[in-house]
Amino acid sequence: MSHHRHAVTAPDAPAPAGPYSHAVHSGGLLFCSGQVGVGETLADQARHCLTSLERVCAAAGATLADAVRVGVFLTDMAAFAEVNEVYATFFSGEPPARTTVGVAALPGGAQLEMDAVVALPD
């Protein structure tokens, strides 16, 4: 990678399922790859996504509270409220900007995936 972008690997986050990094740090921002949910319920999957993103942020010296935008991808938009309940517990202060998109399918049969853009501390 060039000098203006650096891959970040989080040893305690799930291994990438393809040829991509957990995140890339560039220009004071951390671009986190999508983390798919694992678990029986959508609440479990949401917790798993956000915990994985926390681990990726920590590997770069940040926290999830530093997120400026989170992307949420759902295979069933009827689960929006259930995901929101868990999501709110991860952001006690001002939450980041967010997009939520309904998708036809996700890797591994997951019902939920989340990614993030994080402002790195000085």
CATH number, position 86: 3.30.1330.40
Residues 37 and 103: beta-carbon distance below 8 Å: no
Domain that holds residue 29: 6-119
Tens-digit pLDDT profile for residues 55-89:
999 999 999 999 999 999 999 999 999 999 999 99
pTM of structure: 0.94
Q: At what angle do helices 80-90 and 42-59 cross, to 10 degrees?
A: 40
Q: What is the pLDDT tens value at each position of the chain, 122 positions in all?
A: 557 899 999 999 998 888 999 999 999 999 999 999 999 999 999 999 999 999 999 999 999 999 999 999 999 999 999 999 999 999 988 999 999 999 999 998 999 999 999 999 98
48 found inside a domain: yes
1 found inside a domain: no
Residues 112 and 26: beta-carbon distance below 8 Å: no
What's the total number of domains in the chain?
1
100 found inside a domain: yes
50 found inside a domain: yes
